[in-house]
């Protein structure tokens, strides 16, 4: 019997039949109207399976007005302690909060004013795959901020090196440019499985949580 708790909305093969995996999603919001609005939008999509509480096999969709310390604490608990992947829907993010969010392991962020049903599902599916999904303006700010940190750290003696391999750098550079797995494979003449294995290998080796986290580390260390 097929396991109903699979966590990626992609085709699978079992007993010779193609089936579609559903992504378990738990919605958390500061007020019932926001929560019910997100639940209503997600409920119409067959690739989504709604759950009551975040768990290791779910994507947690967190709706926040501001990312104060209490909100960041909730994010850390859900991602680190409960093991969920997470999507954050928020009004705005200050520069000082950006690296904190990436450090929490959050790879998918949606601006609240852009949170249509299509946009929420897109972010949820990306999080379930372990991909990053950031608004273009936010990705630019992240790159600028991490680049500034790297320049400020340049010249320090004894700074640790990540020891990234050349093909890992090639893959991460394309991830930073916003390419998905298939596009990266085409650019580098790799199979999609190879690209996934490269990313899985470096995130596991370096204890990184997702692609966005890996890009941030590579930028900070000056690899890209």
pLDDT tens track for 97-155 = 777 777 677 778 999 999 999 999 999 998 888 887 888 777 777 666 655 555 554 44
Question: Highest-confidence range of 4-13, 25-34, 88-97, by mean pLDDT?
Answer: 25-34
Determine the pLDDT at residue 5: 31
Q: Name the percent of the chain lying above pLDDT 70.
A: 78
The residues that bridge with 12 in the sheet, in sequence order, are 19
Quote the pLDDT of residue 8: 43
Residue with tokens 């890009």: 215
Higher pLDDT, 95 or 25: 25
Task: Check: CB of residue 162 under 8 Å from CB of residue 118.
Answer: no
Token reading at 188: 């580098």
**Helix 181-188 / helix 192-205 crossing angle, nearest 10 deg:** 110
Residue 66 DSSP class: S
Spell out where 94-199 has E strands: 108-111
Rounded Cα distance between 81 and 204, Å, is: 18
> For position 149, what pLDDT does the model report?
53
**Choice between 81 and 65, residue whose per-residue pLDDT is larger:** 65
Q: How many residues does the chain have?
A: 224
Q: Which residue has the higher pLDDT, 15 or 171?
A: 171
């Amino acid at each position: 019997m097929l396991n109903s708790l699979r966590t990626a909305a992609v085709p699978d093969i079992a007993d010779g039949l193609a089936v579609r995996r559903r992504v378990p999603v738990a919605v958390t919001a500061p007020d019932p109207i926001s929560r019910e609005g997100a639940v209503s939008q997600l409920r119409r999509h067959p690739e989504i399976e709604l759950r009551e509480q975040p768990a290791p096999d779910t994507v947690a969709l967190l709706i926040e007005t501001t990312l104060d310390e209490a909100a960041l604490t909730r994010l850390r608990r859900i991602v680190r302690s409960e093991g969920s992947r997470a999507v954050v829907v928020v009004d705005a993010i200050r520069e000082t909060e950006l690296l904190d969010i990436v450090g929490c392991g959050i790879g998918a962020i949606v601006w609240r004013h852009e949170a249509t049903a299509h946009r929420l599902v897109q972010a949820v599916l990306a999080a379930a795959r372990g991909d990053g999904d950031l608004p273009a303006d936010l990705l630019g700010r992240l790159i600028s901020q991490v680049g500034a940190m790297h320049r400020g750290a340049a010249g320090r003696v004894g700074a640790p090196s990540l020891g990234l391999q050349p093909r890992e750098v090639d893959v991460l550079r394309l991830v930073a440019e916003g390419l998905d797995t298939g596009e990266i494979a085409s650019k580098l003449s790799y199979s999609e499985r190879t690209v996934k294995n490269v990313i899985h290998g470096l995130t596991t080796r370096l204890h990184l949580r997702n692609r966005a986290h890996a890009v941030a580390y590579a930028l900070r260390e000056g690899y890209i």
